Structure 1
Amino acid sequence: MCGRYTITSNIEEVVEVFSVRKTNYEYMERYNVAPTQLVPGIINNDGQRIMEDFKWGLIPFWSKDSKIAYKTINARAEGIEKKPAFRHLLKRNRLLIPSDGFYEWRQEEGGKQPFRFQLKTKSVFAFAGLYDTWRNPEGEEVQSCTIITTTPNALVSDVHDRMPVILTGEAAASWINEDMEGTDDVLSYLRPYPAELMVKYPVSRNVGNVRNSYATLIEEVPLNSK
């Protein structure tokens, strides 16, 4: 799964890398993004790329309440085209969720040790995601999203048995291309990112507390440190 990530790149880099034309999101650098929080997502609206806020944890339009969001922070790539909450979103409701790193935990002597994963270039990338719009009992629209996960590459598998689908360059552009509607074409992007293009390192166990969000969380620490 993917349950925590970072987006510490500056807004100018995000806008440039993903050719964002309009921003409806109050962007800030974040060191410990957690489920149910509002996160930036990039969609393609009539050929214009727009960055908006989405609640992390998908609430399908047909859901009776928002509690389902706790179970839908991730969507497994395997069989996603058959899942009621996700299958109808694959054609039109795809988005990019900008990030520059994500956390996963491994059991070590003394407790669970978090690791941060990045691209070797340390540049911003995107998670492949899906979004939906739900109307709450008060009639307000709530935009929400999920991060798609896949089997891990060799680097991630040393820590966890899942990893988020990472998109860069043309793959990211194609993911939100409104002309791509074929299921097979969409599914072809849901594969592990090459391990040789990524790095990992241990970070402070303070990442485990969602209330913690500060720059030193992403600093490398010795293994088994507290």
Structure 2
Amino acid sequence: MCGRYANSASTANLYGLFGVDEVVDDDLEPSWNIAPTDPVRAVLQRPPREAADDAAAVRQLRTLRWGLVPSWSKDAKGGARMINARRETVVEKPAFRKAAAARRCLLPADGYYEWRTTDEGKVPYFLHAPDDAMLAFAGLYELWRDPEKADDDPARWLWTCTVITQQATDTLGEIHDRCPVLVPSELRDAWLDCTAGDAAVASELLAAMPVPQLEPRIVSTAVNSVRNDGPELVAPAAAPAAEPVQLEMRF
């Protein structure tokens, strides 16, 4: 599962890192404690704003709400339950199948949090790239039309997203049994290209994703509260007496 993550990158940084052509929506403040239903930055490909629907897609940086709301939902209340989509069933589940075919995205992240259960309580870890490079979660996005808003209301469309997760192959089994699917730089173009409109393409791409290698570090329990935010949340914290300070982990 991925239920909390960090993204401190500015729009300018994301623009360069992901080869963005068009920035949509206002800047978001950096956050080291992104939680379900929060606004998040996403990279996706769609026709430019104000262009015809059949115009060539460009790479956009947009702000979405974390927690996917399927287009056929009667309301938007269930989004918080769909922050993750399982890799094993993502092309089969009605809530995700169409998005897997036609609306794939990347969700930039510094890293994400998981909690390990110990005799002393739950210990938070921050999982990140060994060189602290920006990660790209494999994601899906969806558009939901709010029937209570007028046709000319710019807020009539709700844009939401989900993070695809997979079984973690952590040899120690120390932290959590699920982890986000990470899209390496060489597969990002293919992941964002939804011109085929075929969910089988998503399945093939997910199967081709290499096993990610991340480093975990114990961080402060301040991250437990969504009210807390700031770079101090990802800083190393003292380990409990029964916890190893160094933990080698491979997903």
TM-score greater than 0.5 by the shorter chain: yes
Against the structure 1 CA distance between its residues 136 and 182, is the aligned structure 2 distance closer, same or farther, given a 3 Å change threshold? Answer: closer
**Is structure 2 residue 115 aligned with structure 1 residue 98?**
no
Percent identity over the alignment is 33
Letter in 2 for 1:32: N
Aligned to 2:36: 35
Is this contact kept in 2: 1:18–1:173, CA < 8 A?
no
Task: Determine the C-alpha separation between the residues in 2 that align with 1:134 and 1:156.
Answer: 41
Against the structure 1 CA distance between its residues 16 and 157, is the aligned structure 2 distance closer, same or farther, given a 3 Å change threshold? Answer: farther
Deviations 1:11-32 (A, max 9, x none): 3332112101111231321100
Deviations 1:33-66 (A, max 9, x none): 0000111111112331111111100111110111
* Paired positions, count: 224
Against the structure 1 CA distance between its residues 31 and 155, is the aligned structure 2 distance closer, same or farther, given a 3 Å change threshold? Answer: farther
Task: Determine the C-alpha separation between the residues in 2 that align with 1:188 and 1:198.
Answer: 23
Three-state SS of the structure 2 residue aligned to 1:41 is strand
Letter in 2 for 1:111: G
What stretches of structure 1 of length at least 5 have no aligned partner?
Answer: none
Aligned to 2:65: 55
Aligned to 2:211: 194
Task: Determine the C-alpha separation between the residues in 2 that align with 1:85 and 1:96.
Answer: 18
Aligned to 2:200: 184
**Is structure 2 residue 13 aligned with structure 1 residue 3?**
no
Aligned to 2:45: 44
* CA radius of gyration, larger in: 2
Letter in 1 for 2:240: N
Task: Determine the C-alpha separation between the residues in 1 that align with 2:45 and 2:6.
Answer: 23
What stretches of structure 2 of length at least 5 have no aligned partner?
Answer: 47-55, 150-155, 242-251
Aligned to 1:138: 148
Against the structure 1 CA distance between its residues 223 and 23, is the aligned structure 2 distance closer, same or farther, given a 3 Å change threshold? Answer: same
Task: Determine the C-alpha separation between the residues in 2 that align with 1:156 and 1:137.
Answer: 49
**Is structure 2 residue 88 aligned with structure 1 residue 85?**
no
Against the structure 1 CA distance between its residues 108 and 193, is the aligned structure 2 distance closer, same or farther, given a 3 Å change threshold? Answer: farther
How well do the aligned residues superpose, as a CA RMSD in angstroms? Answer: 1.9
Three-state SS of the structure 1 residue aligned to 2:102 is coil
When normalised by structure 2's length, the TM-score is: 0.83
When normalised by structure 1's length, the TM-score is: 0.92
Three-state SS of the structure 2 residue aligned to 1:43 is strand
Is this contact kept in 2: 1:43–1:95, CA < 8 A?
yes
Aligned to 2:188: 172
